Amino acid sequence: MPNAIEPPSESPARLGAAYALLADADVDRPWRPIAGGTDLMVQVTGEIGEPPERVLDIWALDELRGIDVESDALVLGALTTYTELRRSPVVAEHLPSLVEAAATIGAAQIQNRATIGGNVMNASPAGDTLPVLLACGAEMVLGSASGERTVRADAFWTGYRTTARRLDELLLRIRIPLSPGRQVRFRKIGTRRAQAISKVVMALAWRASAVDQPWTDVRLALGSVAATTVRAQGAEAVLEGASPIRETADAATAALVAELRPIDDVRSTADYRRAVAGRVLHRLIRDAGGW
Ligand SMILES: Cc1cc2nc3c(=O)[nH]c(=O)nc-3n(C[C@H](O)[C@H](O)[C@H](O)COP(=O)(O)OP(=O)(O)OC[C@H]3O[C@@H](n4cnc5c(N)ncnc54)[C@H](O)[C@@H]3O)c2cc1C
């Protein structure tokens, strides 16, 4: 008798073979790709989330690996693990806030196996890399037998744990534009320093010619405060064109607290999330301004 918690699976060694399987995108029995399995395996029993009908193991697909800088972007293969991110001199040089985010995820066992592509595709509002990707204007490159397409982070997470991916597609890589002079800061608030799901997670990106100069291209992204990772456009509008002085921090914090609509849940209350998000933003601006 088949084991009820062991769905049928395939482990293609080549991308073309994976695409061929995915082309059979039966909506009643869709293939669920499995990368590190750290999210999917906890769903297999059906106690948490939708159990997979059929599992497509993508671990052997080398086309989904690698960390590169290509012209004006940092390009991360979907199968890049958090340990690889943490050890990469390229990521440390170009996007240290992503290294910081990776370091907060799970503990060493999770970081050795879990992938950034899995974090993106799991689409949890608490996914810790998502605010960094959203604040940096990342683009998700999806592939299928009919070719590749690119979806910007702004349009990628379409709702609670849903994405713009079609059933016949895989996430191949993530392109993160590298913008000269851009600064990015990351901060996660959880119950503990490790093995904690975020109560609030934030990334703030901006460009400035010097520490005390006005900010441009400001993007503020938050997780765990809505059904998806979101941008706080009210606070962004306050920060755009302003210098990182106390008055700016006060006004941006007020705007953020006014626009956030978090929920109460097992991890935190809405009031706490709103208050702590405001304080974190204030602190990030203060640190950036050096006052
Ligand atoms: C103990 C523990 C602690 C954790 N701590 C954190 C934490 O602190 N912060 C955090 O953000 N997360 C945390 N997680 C969640 C998880 O580790 C991350 O979301 C991780 O990045 C998922 O990656 P994975 O490779 O394991 O994904 P998988 O479990 O393999 O897949 C996750 C989802 O993405 C899909 N998928 C994966 N890769 C692709 C692809 N290339 N193309 C299309 N679909 C794909 C799968 O079908 C599945 O729906 C934790 C999990 C555990 C078990």
Mean pLDDT of 83-92: 98
Atom of ligand 1 nearest to the CA of 32: 47
**Range with lowest mean pLDDT among 88-92, 187-191, 238-242:** 187-191
Of the chain, the percentage scoring pLDDT greater than 70 comes to 98
- Select the more confidently predicted residue: 262 or 46: 262
Tens digit of pLDDT for each residue in 185-226? 999 998 777 778 888 999 999 999 999 999 999 999 999 999
Q: What is the pLDDT of residue 1?
A: 42
Domains of the chain, residue spans: 9-57, 62-177, 182-289
pLDDT band at 2, cuts 50/70/90? Answer: very low
Q: What is the pTM of this model?
A: 0.96
Positive/negative CA dihedral, 188, 190, 193, 194: negative
Ligand 1 pocket by C-beta < 6 Å: which residues? 32-40, 42, 58, 64, 78, 105-106, 110, 114-115, 117-119, 121-122, 127-128, 165, 170-171, 195, 197
From the options 3.40.50.150, 1.10.3720.10, 1.10.10.10, 3.30.390.50, give the CATH code of 182-289. 3.30.390.50
Mean pLDDT of 113-125: 97
The whole-angstrom separation of Cα 223 and Cα 256 is 13
- Point out which residues pair with 162 in neighbouring strands: 159
Q: Whose CA is nearest to atom 14 of ligand 1?
A: 106
Q: For residue 193, what is the DSSP state?
A: S
What is the Å distance from ligand 1's center to 113 Cα? 9
What is the Å distance from ligand 1's center to 255 Cα? 32
What is the Å distance from ligand 1's center to 266 Cα? 20
The whole-angstrom separation of Cα 291 and Cα 288 is 8
- What DSSP element (H or E) covers 81? none
pLDDT band at 72, cuts 50/70/90? Answer: very high
The whole-angstrom separation of Cα 215 and Cα 218 is 7
What's the token pair of residue 10? Answer: 């395939």
62-177: CATH topology? 3.30.465
Mean pLDDT, the chain, whole residue set: 94
What's the alpha-carbon Rg for the chain, to the nearest Å? Answer: 19
| Length in residues, the chain | 291
Contacts of 45 (CB under 8 A, 6+ apart): 5, 51
Identify the three-state secondary structure at position 22. helix
Residue 211 is which amino acid?
V
Q: Whose CA is nearest to atom 43 of ligand 1?
A: 170
As to burial, measured by CB atoms within 10 angstroms (0-12 exposed, 13-18 middle, 19+ buried), residue 148 is: exposed
